[in-house]
Amino acid sequence: MKDFNYHSAKDSKEASKLASSSSAFLAGGMTTIPSMKLGLATYKDLIDIKNIKKLSGIKVSGKSVTIGAATKHVEVSNSKDIKKAIPSLSSLAEGIGDPQVRNRGTIGGSIANNDPSADYPSACIALNATIHTNERKIEAAKFFKGMFETALKKGELIEAIEFQIPEKSSYQKHPNPASRYAIVGVYVAKHKGDVNVAVTGAKSCVYNDKEMSKALSGNFSSSSIDGMDLDSSEMNSDMHASADFRASLVVTQAKKAVDAC
């Protein structure tokens, strides 16, 4: 690992001011540190944001769950309030990586990183989340732009993620057996008006499957999507799963999610 400067920011303003084109925020470090060790990324400055009070904590209201960006996966999975309001969200957190990763990795880091096979982005889409940054509020649907790409601008800091509490929801993941990231993860959420079917792992970026959402909004039963033949032309294909297998898994996991709702 190359030498770098370590800064610990006391508030969002300072963190944002320290940011440059050769810096990164340091939240859990679960993505940043390994990529620096492997020489895949080098930064002049790492700006630790874990000491910024505003970024931690979980707030539950009648309509929404708001989670501070620096909240660790383990805190989400253990939170009694979240378990009550959106149980699928805590079980998603419980299924991320391994205990070491869950004890350090944060929700903000996961979303900012937007790994195509990360779990949280699907929750943001399915639960109509609003991403609160130090500058603005961004709807989840406009936040995830592409592979490892988000709407965040340089130096913009995620402060909290606000999830809409659905009537029913479930997240079902077919994990990569080695890394346990999602080969395919499907987050189904039934809101008052409509149903979201957010899919991660299948394509270069998380997306809301319109076809399945429509079918399920009409009839919220797994039979309404059974046997659906999804177009696999844009799906990822690698040594762990071909595009066709992923296409089939999307439907299977969606069905499982509906059944589990």
201 contributes a contact to ligand FAD by CB under 6 A: no
Which residue number, 19 or 249, has a Cβ lying nearer to another protein? 249
Which residue number, 176 or 221, has a Cβ lying nearer to another protein? 176
Measured from the CB of residue 193, what is the shortest distance to ligand FAD in angstroms? 28
Which one of another protein, ligand FAD, none is in contact with 242 (Cβ closer than 5 to 8 A by kind)?
another protein
Measured from the CB of residue 39, what is the shortest distance to another protein in angstroms? 9
Pairing of the two strands 195-200 and 182-190: antiparallel
Determine the Cα–Cα distance for residues 243 and 211; give it in Å rounded to an integer: 18
Which residue number, 152 or 189, has a Cβ lying nearer to ligand FAD? 152
Which residue number, 38 or 229, has a Cβ lying nearer to another protein? 38
The token duo for 58 is 């979980």
Stretch that binds ligand FAD, among 104-112, 122-130, 189-197, 203-211 (CB under 6 A): 104-112
Which residue number, 178 or 233, has a Cβ lying nearer to another protein? 178
Alpha carbon distances (Å) from 253 to 36, 107, 119, 187, 194: 34, 23, 14, 9, 19
202 contributes a contact to ligand FAD by CB under 6 A: no
Stretch that binds ligand FAD, among 112-120, 191-199, 201-209, 238-246 (CB under 6 A): 112-120
Determine the Cα–Cα distance for residues 195 and 29; give it in Å rounded to an integer: 34
Indicate the DSSP class of residue 26.
Answer: E
Measured from the CB of residue 192, what is the shortest distance to another protein in angstroms? 30
Which one of ligand FAD, another protein, none is in contact with 178 (Cβ closer than 5 to 8 A by kind)?
another protein
Determine the Cα–Cα distance for residues 258 and 213; give it in Å rounded to an integer: 11
Which residue number, 66 or 106, has a Cβ lying nearer to ligand FAD? 106
CB-CB contact of 8 with 51 (8 Å): yes
Alpha carbon distances (Å) from 157 to 6, 78, 147, 174, 211: 17, 25, 19, 31, 34
CB-CB contact of 198 with 170 (8 Å): no
Among 7, 168, 180, 240, indicate the residue that binds ligand FAD (CB under 6 A). Answer: 180
Determine the Cα–Cα distance for residues 245 and 196; give it in Å rounded to an integer: 22
Question: C-alpha 192: how far from its chain's center?
Answer: 23
28 contributes a contact to ligand FAD by CB under 6 A: yes
Q: Which residues bind another protein (CB under 8 A)?
A: 1, 3, 38, 174, 176-179, 181, 239-242, 245, 248-249, 252-253, 255
Measured from the CB of residue 218, what is the shortest distance to another protein in angstroms? 23
Q: Which residues pair with 187 in a beta bridge?
A: 171, 198
Determine the Cα–Cα distance for residues 156 and 84; give it in Å rounded to an integer: 32
198 contributes a contact to ligand FAD by CB under 6 A: no
Q: Binding residues for ligand FAD, per CB under 6 A?
A: 24-32, 34, 49, 69, 96-97, 101, 105-106, 108-110, 112-113, 115, 118-120, 152, 157-158, 179-181
